[in-house]
Amino acid sequence: MTAKRAPLALVVLLTMARAPVAFAGAADPDSEDLRAKDLFQAQRYADALAIYTKLYAETRHPTYLRNLGRCHQMMRQPEPAIARFRAYLSSARDLGPGERTEIEGYIADMQALEAAQSAAPPPPAIVLEQQPRGPSDADARAGAGTQPPSPNGPSITHRWWFWTGLGVLLVGGVVASIVAASGSSGRLPCPPETVCPP
C-alpha cells in the first residue's frame, strides 16, 4: 500500500511544482488593473488606455468602459469618451445616482469640448520649403558638365539682383561709350599728309 502511495505522492508534488510555472505566463487582472491606475495617475493615458482595452476585452466588466472613457477624456478625445461613458451607463448594474450624475457630467463636458473643437478654426497649415527638383532626363542627356544646384539655395544667376546689376552695368557702358564717341577732344584735327601723335 505504501508503494502505491509513493508514486501518487510524487505525481502530486510534481503537479504542484509545475502549477506556478503554468500560471506565471498569465497576467493577473488585478495587477494589470493596478498598473493601469498607476499609469493613469502618472498622466500616461495612452498606456493606461491600452491596458484597460485589453482588460475589457478579456473580462467585459463595465467598470473598464468607465476607465476607457476617462482615458479618452483626459486625452481630449470627446467622441470615443462619450461612446464609452454611454456604454458604461447602459451596461453597469446597481449604479448609484451620484455616480450616474458624475458620468452624465463627463458626457456633458465632452459634448462641450466636441462642439468647441468643431467650431475652432483649423490650425494653420505648415508650409514646407520646396525642395529643388533633380535634373530631368533631357537635362541629364544634354550635358554632364552642368554643376549641381547649391545646397544653400538657387545659384547666383537665379537671383533677381544679379540680372539687375548686370543690366545697369551694360546700359552704363553703352552710355559711356556713346558719350565718349560723340564728345569732342581738346585737340585740333591733324592736317592731311602729316603724321599726328596718338
Q: Domain of 82?
A: 27-118
Tens digit of each residue's pLDDT (9 = 90 or more) over 178-196: 777 666 555 666 667 767 6
Please report where in the chains the cell 537635362 appears, as a residue: 139
pTM of the shown model = 0.49
As given in the structure block, the three cell numbers for residue 125 are: 497649415
Show the DSSP H helices in the chain as ranges.
2-24, 29-41, 45-59, 62-74, 78-91, 97-119, 137-142, 160-182
Q: How far is CA 150 from the centre of its chain?
A: 29
In a domain, 75, yes or no: yes
In a domain, 74, yes or no: yes
Cα Rg for the chain, rounded, in angstroms?
Answer: 43
Tens digit of each residue's pLDDT (9 = 90 or more) over 135-170: 555 555 555 555 555 566 667 777 788 888 888 898
21 vs 184, more confident: 184
In a domain, 70, yes or no: yes
For residue 85, what is the domain's CATH number? 1.25.40.10
Least confident of 70-84, 85-99, 173-187: 173-187
Quote the CA–CA distance of 151 and 128 in Å, as a whole number.
16
Count up the domains in the chain and report the number: 1
In a domain, 130, yes or no: no
In a domain, 157, yes or no: no
As given in the structure block, the three cell numbers for residue 106 are: 463627463
In a domain, 16, yes or no: no
Residue 5 has pLDDT above 60, yes or no: no
Residue 40 has pLDDT above 90, yes or no: yes
Give the residue among 92, 15, 77 at the shortest CA–CA distance from 46. Answer: 77
In a domain, 38, yes or no: yes
In a domain, 81, yes or no: yes
